[in-house]
Structure 1
Amino acid sequence: MKFLRLIHPLRRLLAAGLALSLTLSLAACGGGGSTPDLHNSSVRPLSAQFNARKAVAYSPYRTAVNEAGLAAETIPEANIKQDLELLIQAGFGLIRLFDSDDKVGRGTLQVIRKYNLDIKVQLGVYLQSGNEGFNQAQLSRAADLANSYSDIVLAVSVGNENMVSWSLNPISPETMAGYLKTLRAKISQPLTTDDNYAYWAGAQNSVVTDQIDFASLHTYPELDTVFVDKLWDWRQTDKPATDRAKAMMDAAITEARRQYQLARDHLNQMGRADLPITIGETGWNAVDVGKLKFRAHPVNQKMYLDRLAAWAAEGRSGAGPKAVFYFEAFDEPWKQGDDKWGLFNVKRQARYAIKDLIPAAQWVPSGDASEPATASLSDADAVYFQPAVINPAVAQDRYVIYADATTSSELREAGLQFDPFVKTFWQSVADFAPGDGPQALEVEPKPETWGWGMLYQSRSEVTTNLSGYANGSLRFSIKTTYPGKIEIGLISDTADRVQQEAYLQIASGSYGYVNDGNWHQVLIPVADFVSKNPKLDLSLILGRFVLADRYAYTGNAAGSDVKLTIDAVYWNK
């Protein structure tokens, strides 16, 4: 199964950590390495059309909702034609494709030729770590397509983020160099490989750079803020609130330029000042799909795109990248937590970033709960960092999540509810814990491949100050035969507005939990959650109670849908 852009939270964590180490130590890295057989001898120049055209990453998938659905999705010619016509309408004349398969690579090129569309292509070659047969087939198809559509294909890229040290689809530089050399002998177009800037800024030898005509670099300042919070100052708290959004987006493009310059300087040190650099991927989320509050928004996406356009114009006429491929044209729901990068949503409705180029009838309409209507937005709606507001501490002895029995000193907060991580189901049942009738909550897991979960929260992200329970406990009754461990968690906001989570993996026999099918009361000291994650802020609690099983953390076998009945859930001083 191919990935059009391999993404994983761990990947970003490792990426950002490497970014920080590069900032501190890049000056110590050297070039050197193998004897070149291309360097300074026959570098193929990027064409004037490649440099001049506005560029975007393109994938035609629409209906797949997960990775497994990609192979089954049929991509009609009419869909590709509609997509490309929209991109032309939005001013784009150069697209990056990620593979040379018949469905995407050949299918897109056929549509461009058949309808004489004014679109040029950087063709991709998708590689699979350890799958030589697959990789050689991709290389052969790429050579065929590059030659058959030489009037359309302006450049070819082999691989995608395979050599950076944190790659989840790793291919060694030596193996990559072999693939590049093989393909270069069969085509006439300039050749590259796409990778994160950290690879280009730290390449230890010239084995790859000796085989390419330009370096295609990826930079994601927005995502860097998630995993290395202080890599660049996105909060801009020294600015007044009215100036903070602009200051953040100015700082974001400054960080992208810095990452580019690290790569440029390192290539120069390797003796490759002649090697052009393009930005093969960069983008900004229009919608927060997790951990990007105060950053992801349609207006901020436009602000980043506008700044990229100015940078791209500089590169065409002087120093800087010779092309900038925006990531991406259209949303791809199959990526789930890595979606909402598109200038268009999956329904091919235009977001704010390109509204001036697309008729209003084709904008994101009102009524979409996941994002604001394009027509409702203005530049003033850009999001920016806002300090957390700490509410008065709950004074009562008991803070109730779910219980029938009442006490004289308790708080039952309005506006809160249980929500699933994805599809977990629950219902009230008459089988209740001793002393807490007449009902309890029966939870039926609907597991995904990674697990399942549910949490008690405010959908508007109102926090509760439960700092008074620091020496208290979280208590609940449970009846189940669920196999293996369960997870109980808390989620908080923080002063820096970076959400923190603390999950405890609880085995039968711990904290009073027993999975024998009888009722048992579980009592967890709140201090144990804080010990698990000292960054958890009890004065800014968002997820007041989380019940889950994430298999990577519990070690449980995947797929159990054994029901769990819970009752009398509350914090106690």
Structure 2
Amino acid sequence: MLFTQFSIAKFRVRPLILACSACCLISACGGDGTTGLPGGSSNGGSGGSGGGSGGSSGIGISAGSYSMAQRSLPTYYKNAKAINYSAYRAGGPNQGELPSVANITQDLQLLQSAGYTLLRLFGADQVSTRVLSTAQANFPNLKFQIGIYLVGASTDCVNAVNTAQMQTGIQQANTYSNVATVSVGNETSFANNLPASCLATYVNLVKTNVAQPVTADDDYTFYAGLTASGEKPDLILPLIDFASIHTYPMSNYGGWNWQQTAIAAGQGRAVAMMNAAIANARANYASAANYSFTNSANVKTTTGAAMPIVIGETGWKAVQTNQGSQIETVAAKPINQKYYFDLLNTWQNAGTGPQTIFYFESFDEAWKGNDDGWGLWDQNRTPRYILCGTAVAGAPACATPDPYAGAGYFQ
């Protein structure tokens, strides 16, 4: 989903990138507002200072000394419960919100109580630095996939926001031992705001300066070579260690048979719709996994054969927030949200799809307007039906004997 400054928003019909003011750019540069590369690394290796043999990139970051050889995902990616987490509660990044340590602590306690130990963050800024430092001090079992937020850039790929984000992301990766992986960019191809050649330059710079596995989060259409702009992932795939794809059947409901009118109206039609939704997600994953490209050894291969694939984002709204969405009118319900979530887990547990699924998302964020309503908890941290039967305090009971009774469907 697309960023609106250093957080996210999905606008699948009309992509939107919101501009950031100069003051926002300054406040997003990292913990102390500086943009220098870190002086050392707590993760081992010799590339923490960003020096090394590569020379200057012209972007303000020197190529480091870490190898570009493919790195293995941590083993806990195969069994950890994973989720997207954004700490904003009020005005969001466009109003300069900096969530308090107390609020972040409450959020991490809630996520831990639900069994989530692998969290995906989005921008390399003061907010994510505060999350990482709070977690490292108080939640030693939590690990993070950090994100580096990218905007458009000129043909020389030089951009002040992107440089500051990369510098801060490198610093975070080399400072906090709870950083498991690093993602460079978020749906830059889907937004059509950054050439793949610039993304490749950025991935190379980041990877040579951190020890962790590196990816680039984007919509499945990019990884499947299906973007409307014609951008292909061929420049990116030889550089990254794993692919992180996004798929949203609910947002892209025009691409699959969500109405299921061949089934009589009733619970059976709801079941058919939800099964068709997960089938769409699986097909999107397969299209990315089967994409053919030439690797760094000049050998033709597919993404699925060359590297692990995770789903970086997918979810289902519990409440309608976009009045223009026909599917939300009937199917943005807590029961449907749980249904999709459980189907995802069944797919992942079968071992036939992604190694990890980062569910979108932890908590509602009202500042997103019509892109809100995806949270496992609402904005007030009240647990939704999707958490029924868990150890989460205040979670509702699951309906018996059918926990999906009453799911919404087209009528």
TM-score, normalising length from structure 2?
0.77
Q: C-alpha separation between the residues in 1 aligned to 2:70 and 2:89?
A: 38
Q: Deviations over 1:313-339 (max 9, x none)?
A: 234xxx421110000000011100000
Which of 322, 332, 337 is matched with 1:301 structurally? 337
Secondary structure at 2:210 match in 1:
coil
Matched, 1:275 2:278: no
Aligned position for 2:47: none
Q: C-alpha separation between the residues in 2 aligned to 1:63 and 1:107?
A: 17
Amino acid corresponding to residue 232 of structure 2 in structure 1: Q
Aligned position for 1:348: 381
On the 8 A contact 1:123/1:156 being kept in 2, the answer is: yes
Unaligned 5+ segments in structure 1 are 14-39, 364-372, 387-573
Q: Flag the 1:267–1:215 CA change in 2: closer, same or farther, 3 A.
A: farther
Q: Deviations over 1:435-463 (max 9, x none)?
A: xxxxxxxxxxxxxxxxxxxxxxxxxxxxx
Unaligned 5+ segments in structure 2 are 17-66, 226-230, 295-299
Aligned position for 1:162: 188
On the 8 A contact 1:285/1:342 being kept in 2, the answer is: yes
Q: C-alpha separation between the residues in 1 aligned to 2:270 and 2:145?
A: 33
Secondary structure at 1:50 match in 2:
helix
Instruction: Give 1:119 shift.
Output: 1.1
Instruction: Give 1:375 shift.
Output: 8.9
Higher strand share: 1
On the 8 A contact 2:335/2:407 being kept in 1, the answer is: yes
Q: Flag the 1:45–1:354 CA change in 2: closer, same or farther, 3 A.
A: same
Q: Deviations over 1:385-416 (max 9, x none)?
A: 11xxxxxxxxxxxxxxxxxxxxxxxxxxxxxx
Q: Flag the 1:267–1:324 CA change in 2: closer, same or farther, 3 A.
A: farther
Aligned position for 2:114: 90
Secondary structure at 2:358 match in 1:
strand
Secondary structure at 2:250 match in 1:
helix
Q: Flag the 1:336–1:67 CA change in 2: closer, same or farther, 3 A.
A: farther
Aligned position for 1:148: 175
Instruction: Give 1:153 shift.
Output: 1.0
Aligned position for 2:50: none
On the 8 A contact 2:68/2:208 being kept in 1, the answer is: no
Aligned position for 2:11: 8
Aligned position for 1:224: 252
**Count, aligned residues:** 336
Matched, 1:188 2:221: no
Aligned position for 2:366: 333
Q: C-alpha separation between the residues in 1 aligned to 2:343 and 2:258?
A: 16
Aligned position for 1:113: 136
On the 8 A contact 1:312/1:321 being kept in 2, the answer is: yes
Q: Flag the 1:109–1:68 CA change in 2: closer, same or farther, 3 A.
A: closer
Q: Flag the 1:360–1:111 CA change in 2: closer, same or farther, 3 A.
A: closer
Amino acid corresponding to residue 264 of structure 1 in structure 2: A
Secondary structure at 2:301 match in 1:
coil
Using the aligned pairs only, state the percent identity.
Answer: 39
Instruction: Give 1:44 shift.
Output: 0.4
Matched, 1:79 2:124: no
Q: C-alpha separation between the residues in 1 aligned to 2:240 and 2:174?
A: 18
Secondary structure at 2:211 match in 1:
coil
Instruction: Give 1:74 shift.
Output: 3.2
Aligned position for 2:272: 247
Secondary structure at 2:14 match in 1:
helix
Instruction: Give 1:268 shift.
Output: 6.3
Amino acid corresponding to residue 274 of structure 2 in structure 1: M
On the 8 A contact 1:57/1:327 being kept in 2, the answer is: yes
Secondary structure at 2:361 match in 1:
coil
Which of 49, 61, 64 is matched with 2:88 structurally? 61
Q: C-alpha separation between the residues in 1 aligned to 2:144 and 2:232?
A: 30
Aligned position for 1:410: none
On the 8 A contact 1:350/1:358 being kept in 2, the answer is: no
Aligned position for 2:165: 138
Matched, 1:383 2:408: yes
Instruction: Give 1:374 shift.
Output: 8.9
Instruction: Give 1:50 shift.
Output: 1.9
Q: Flag the 1:212–1:257 CA change in 2: closer, same or farther, 3 A.
A: same
Q: C-alpha separation between the residues in 1 aligned to 2:398 and 2:106?
A: 20
Secondary structure at 1:329 match in 2:
coil
On the 8 A contact 1:217/1:281 being kept in 2, the answer is: yes
Q: C-alpha separation between the residues in 2 aligned to 1:360 and 1:134?
A: 40
Answer with 1 or 2: which has the greater Rg: 1
Secondary structure at 1:356 match in 2:
coil
Instruction: Give 1:156 shift.
Output: 0.5
Q: C-alpha separation between the residues in 1 aligned to 2:357 and 2:393?
A: 27
Instruction: Give 1:238 shift.
Output: 1.7
On the 8 A contact 1:91/1:357 being kept in 2, the answer is: no
Aligned position for 1:175: 198
Aligned position for 1:535: none
Secondary structure at 2:215 match in 1:
strand
Secondary structure at 1:60 match in 2:
coil
Q: Flag the 1:209–1:198 CA change in 2: closer, same or farther, 3 A.
A: same
On the 8 A contact 1:173/1:207 being kept in 2, the answer is: yes
Which of 60, 73, 76 is matched with 1:49 structurally? 76
Which of 334, 350, 353 is matched with 1:314 structurally? 350
1:404-483 to 2 correspondences below 5 Å: none
Aligned position for 1:487: none
On the 8 A contact 2:338/2:385 being kept in 1, the answer is: yes
On the 8 A contact 2:68/2:204 being kept in 1, the answer is: no
TM-score, normalising length from structure 1?
0.56
Aligned position for 1:536: none
Q: Deviations over 1:157-196 (max 9, x none)?
A: 01110013xx16x111000000000010111111000100
Higher relative contact order (Cα pairs below 8 Å, separated by 6+ residues): 2
Matched, 1:198 2:211: no
RMSD: 2.4
